[in-house]
Amino acid sequence: MDAERKKRLLIQASEIREKTVELIYHGGGGHIGGDLSETDIMVVLFDQMKHDAKNPKWEERDYFILSKGHSAETYYALLNEYGYIGQKEMDDFGSFGALLGGHPNKKVNGVEANTGSLGHGLGFAAGAAIALKKDGKNNHVYVLTGDGELAEGSNWEALMSAKKYKLDNLTWIVDRNHLQISGNTEDVMPIDSLKAKAEAFGFKTLEINGHDYDQISDALNFREKDEPVCIIANTIKGKGLSCAENQAGWHHKTPSKEQVEQLKVDMAEYRKELE
């Protein structure tokens, strides 16, 4: 990735982290840990996939499905940044009857699928990829799952179909932050060796640092004829909010005013270093 693009995206990610944490603070709660682990992946993805906020149902768009739907606040922050969602909707987050709920809903521009009940995004994504292939379309389908989410059996059924239907238009990204709702994934329900499992299910599997922009970008661009792709993105849950990093207790939490202010100071300093 060229230096200018990388700097632009790193700055954008720092702003998205601020926006996410503020949204959660004002809304009175959110899945802050998984929001902050997925931020860098989603910032790069939104920058390079085909989409158009002015025409959310554009026929040529790529599809993004946030299977780990609980981490919706980063998604909303990005959709707001790109103009899919207005400021009024952001301000209403957390209030009764608001458009933006704790989990993504198709009523929101830019959201392709209702998610939040874990284990359904991969099935939706594989189905969309099959349909697009049958229609001879070139749209690509990206789906982001959690690692804890992989304890749901329905994922593995969807994964089997990806190889059978030669879904080279499907990229499955795993936010591998090693934590889920109540602790370490390997204690709650072990999923290692995930790479061997993904390969056994027929995926071309890349393991990357989910906070490294060159690695994220290259992996998202990776294609091989007839082969579905899996990206295991190693990440840090709570990344950027120092008190929350790698802490299972920050899976769902409201930061204090001081913690929000600290994040803003840290992000501003970080941006200064980039200049």
Ligand X SMILES: Cc1ncc(C[n+]2csc(CCOP(=O)(O)OP(=O)(O)O)c2C)c(N)n1
Contacts with ligand X by CB under 6 A lie at 31, 33-34, 37, 68, 70-71, 116-119, 146-149, 152, 175, 177, 179-181, 237, 251
**Shortest Å distance, C-beta 50 to ligand X:** 26
Closest residue to ligand X in the complex (CB)? 146
**Shortest Å distance, C-beta 251 to ligand X:** 6
Q: Looking at beta carbons only, is 139 or 180 nearer to ligand X?
A: 180
How far from 188 is each of 87, 169, 178, 251, CA to CA, in Å?
38, 32, 10, 14
Q: Looking at beta carbons only, is 27 or 146 nearer to ligand X?
A: 146
Q: For 256-270, give the DSSP string.
A: PHHHHHHHHHHHHHH
Task: At 142, give phi and psi (nearest 5°).
Answer: -115, 135
**Shortest Å distance, C-beta 10 to ligand X:** 21
Q: Looking at beta carbons only, is 109 or 145 nearer to ligand X?
A: 145
Q: Looking at beta carbons only, is 109 or 115 nearer to ligand X?
A: 115
What torsion do the CA atoms of 93, 39, 143, 27 make, to the nearest 10 degrees? -10
**Shortest Å distance, C-beta 101 to ligand X:** 13
In sequence order, the 6+-apart residues with CB closer than 8 A to the CB of 209 are 215, 233, 234
> Is the dihedral angle over the CA atoms 127, 133, 135, 137 positive or is it negative?
positive
Residue among 130, 216, 115 nearest 165 (CA): 130
> Is the dihedral angle over the CA atoms 84, 88, 92, 93 positive or is it negative?
positive
In sequence order, the 6+-apart residues with CB closer than 8 A to the CB of 59 are 137
Q: Looking at beta carbons only, is 40 or 227 nearer to ligand X?
A: 40
> Is the dihedral angle over the CA atoms 20, 48, 268, 263 positive or is it negative?
positive
Verify cis geometry, omega within 30 degrees of 0, for the bond prior to 95. Answer: no
How far from 76 is each of 135, 158, 273, CA to CA, in Å?
30, 26, 27
**Shortest Å distance, C-beta 104 to ligand X:** 12
Q: Looking at beta carbons only, is 215 or 235 nearer to ligand X?
A: 235
**Shortest Å distance, C-beta 235 to ligand X:** 8
Q: Looking at beta carbons only, is 147 or 227 nearer to ligand X?
A: 147
**Shortest Å distance, C-beta 166 to ligand X:** 27
